[in-house]
Amino acid sequence: MKKRSPLKRWFFTGLILLVPIMVTIYLFVGIVRSMDGLIGLIPAAMQPDQLLGFHIPGLGVLFTFVIVLVTGMVGTSFIGRWLVGIGENMLERIPLVRTVYGALKNVLETVLRDNQDSFRRVVLIEYPRKGTYALGFVSGTGHGEVQGLTKDEVITVFVPTSPNPTSGFLLYVPEKDTTPLTMTVEDGMKCVISAGVITPNWTPPAK
């Protein structure tokens, strides 16, 4: 096997170290600048730059946080829920908007929901055929009609696609047919997103 030259190895190592940092900084700066742009929603005479006489970078982040917090407070009230219901009913009548809004809402509810309702652990299941295996994320236990019509106790397992884990397959799998893994949900997601390139370290249990 041909050995890679030191120059090439150093170059690729540099890429691996620098690219994630540079992309993260670029995205972070872009998000902060976008949030700063929200200050423009405030009347010119009341904008912080006008009141203070100088610009404060990142103030839009605080402004965005306040907007989200106030929206959440209003949305949890009786009148807020009523208004949200009216708004969602209107959006449901617009075909394309309904699809985009529904998809975004479902993704956010899945990601931001309480820990007890989100992915709990990572398992290995035999899928899509015997002899091949896939990573699955346990999202809950079977209940209702599905559990009532199955002989074994089943759990709900989400098998994501790679490298885009926002799509995938929901499977109801007998718990006895799953193999629990010690990796965390975060490590499992890294493995999926990297198409298996990034795998967590594993130490076999002592015999």
Residues 6+ apart with CB under 8 A from 47: 39, 40
Whole-prediction pTM value? 0.53
CA dist., res. 21 & res. 181, Å (int): 30
Tens of pLDDT, residues 145-179: 888 888 889 999 999 998 888 789 999 999 999 99
Residue 78 reports pLDDT greater than 90 = no
Q: What is each CA distance from 54 to 35, 139, 149, 172, in whole angstroms?
A: 18, 49, 67, 58
The alpha carbon torsion through 39, 43, 48, 54 (nearest 10 deg) reads 100
Residue 116 reports pLDDT greater than 50 = no
